[in-house]
Chain A
Amino acid sequence: MASEHKGETLTGGTERHLSFPIADLDALRELRAGDRLRIDGHVIGIRDATQIAMFDRGEKPRMDLSGAVLIHTAPNVRKLGPGRYEKVCIGTTTSARMNRFTRGLMERYGVRAIIGKGGLLADSLPVLEEFGGVYLAITGGAAALETTQIEEIEEVEFEELLPECLWKFRVRDFGPLVVAMDSHGTSLYEGVTAKARDKLAELVARL
Chain B
Amino acid sequence: MPSSSGGPPVSSDVAYASVEEAAKQTYIRALKVLPPDLKEALARARAAETDPSGRGFLDIMLENVAVAERDENLVCQDTGTVVFWLEVGDECALNLARVSAAVKKGVERATLEHPLRPNAVHPVTRKNTMTNTGRHLPAMHYEFVPGSAGLPADALKLHCLPKGSGSENMSFLKMFVPADGVKAVKRFVLECIVEAGPKPCPPTIVGVGLGGTADLCAALAKKAVLRPLGTHNDDPVVAALEDELLGAANELGIGPMGLGGRTTALGVNIEWAHTHITQNPVTVNLQCWAARRASAVVTPDGEVTYGF
Chain A residues within CB distance 8 Å of chain B: 8-12, 49, 73-78, 88-94, 96-97, 117-119, 137, 139-148, 162-163, 176, 178, 180, 188-189, 191-193, 195-197, 199-200, 203-204, 207
B156 shortest CB reach to chain A, Å: 29
Q: Besides the contacts A11-B60, A89-B74, A147-B71, what 17 more A-B pairs have beta carbons closer than 8 Å?
A: A9-B52, A10-B59, A76-B79, A76-B116, A96-B199, A97-B169, A117-B198, A139-B57, A141-B290, A142-B61, A143-B73, A148-B67, A189-B197, A192-B198, A192-B259, A203-B251, A207-B183
A48 (CB) vs chain B CBs: closest residue: B126
Residue of B nearest to A147 (CB): B73
Task: Assess whether B257 is in contact with A140, with CB atoms less than 8 Å apart.
Answer: yes
Residues of B within 8 Å of A118, CB to CB, are 166, 197-199, 201, 257-258
B53 within 8 A of A: yes
Asked if A10 contacts B198 (CB within 8 A), the reply is: no
With A76-B79, A204-B187: A144-B258 Cβ-Cβ less than 8 Å: no
Residue of A nearest to B292 (CB): A141
B76 and A91 within 8 A (CB): yes
Residue B300 lies at the interface, judged by CB distance under 8 Å to chain A: no
Give every chain A residue within 8 A of B77 (Cβ-Cβ): 73-76, 89-93, 143, 146
CB nearest to B170 among chain A residues = A94
Q: Is B227 an interface residue (CB 8 A)?
A: no
Question: Is B68 part of the contact surface with A, judged by Cβ < 8 Å?
Answer: yes
Q: Is B35 an interface residue (CB 8 A)?
A: no
Indicate whether B4 reaches chain A with its CB closer than 8 angstroms: no
Give the chain A neighbours of B74 by CB distance below 8 A. 76, 88-89, 91, 143-144
> Given A117-B257, A207-B183, A93 and B60 touching (CB < 8 A)?
no
Describe A's contact surface by its main secondary structure: mixed
| B63 located at the interface, meaning its Cβ lies under 8 Å from any Cβ of chain A in the complex | yes
B258 touches A119 (CB 8 A): yes
Which residues of chain A come closer than 8 Å to B118, judged between CB atoms?
Answer: 162-163
Bound-state CA distance A140–B75 (Å) is 10
Q: How far is the CA of A197 from the CA of B194 in the complex (A)?
A: 7
Q: Is the CB of B201 within 8 A of A117?
A: yes
B233 on the A face (CB < 8 A): no
Candidates B59, B68, B197, B244; contact of A196 at CB < 8 Å: B197
Bound Cα distance A96, B244 (Å): 30
By CB atoms of chain B within 10 A, which of A94, A176, A191 has the most?
A94
A125 CB to nearest chain B CB (Å): 15
User: Which residues of B sit under 8 angstroms from A117, Cβ to Cβ?
Assistant: 166, 198, 201, 257
